[in-house]
Structure formats: structure tokens, C-alpha cells
């Protein structure tokens, strides 16, 4: 199953969510501040540019 990383747009909290093939998981809520989290398009440890999402551009601050 693909593992998607979600990141909080408010505080940068990250979480990883397993998504079943062909399924779309609802965006989780940030455990720290409760804001909706944005799915990162790139799989963990791989970055893809130009993936036309529009709302999930990298903002730096990766640790
Ligand atoms: Zn947060």
C-alpha cells in the first residue's frame, strides 16, 4: 500500500497515512493544532516536481 505523508499547513506537523490502492483517504487533522493537513505528493524520500497539485507546494523546512 502506498504511504502518503501529510503535513500541517499551520504548524508543520507531519504524519504518515497508509492508503489502500484506489482509495482516497480523508485528510487527517493535525494532532497538534487541529488544522486540516495537506497531502504531500512526493512519496517519502522522493521528490517530484511539476505534479500539478497547486495547493501543496513545498515550503522548505524539511527536517
Ligand atoms: Zn498543526
Of residues 37 and 25, more confidently modeled: 37
Q: What is the pLDDT of residue 20?
A: 75
In the predicted model, is pLDDT for residue 32 greater than 90?
A: yes
Q: How far is the CA of 7 from the centre of ligand 1 (A)?
A: 8
- Give the distance (Å) from ligand 1 centre to CA of residue 15: 10
The pLDDT confidence band at residue 27, using thresholds 50, 70 and 90, is confident
pLDDT in tens, 35-58: 999 988 765 554 555 555 555 556
Q: How far is the CA of 37 from the centre of ligand 1 (A)?
A: 7
Q: Residues of 13-46 as b/e, b for ≥16 C-beta within 10 angstroms? A: eeeebeeeeeeeeeeeebeeeeeebbbbbeeeee
Give the domain ranges of the chain.
3-40
pLDDT greater at residue 13 or residue 28: 13
Tell me, what's the pLDDT at 37? Answer: 92
Q: What is the dihedral of CA 41, 14, 32, 10, to 10 degrees?
A: -50
Q: How far does the centroid of ligand 1 lie from the alpha carbon of residue 52, in Å?
A: 24
Amino acid at each position: 500500500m502506498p504511504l502518503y505523508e501529510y503535513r500541517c499547513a499551520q504548524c508543520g506537523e507531519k504524519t504518515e497515512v497508509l492508503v489502500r490502492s484506489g482509495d482516497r483517504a480523508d485528510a487527517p487533522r493535525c494532532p497538534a493544532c487541529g488544522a486540516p493537513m495537506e497531502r504531500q505528493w512526493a512519496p517519502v524520500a522522493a521528490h517530484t516536481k511539476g505534479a500539478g497539485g497547486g495547493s501543496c507546494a513545498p515550503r522548505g523546512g524539511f527536517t
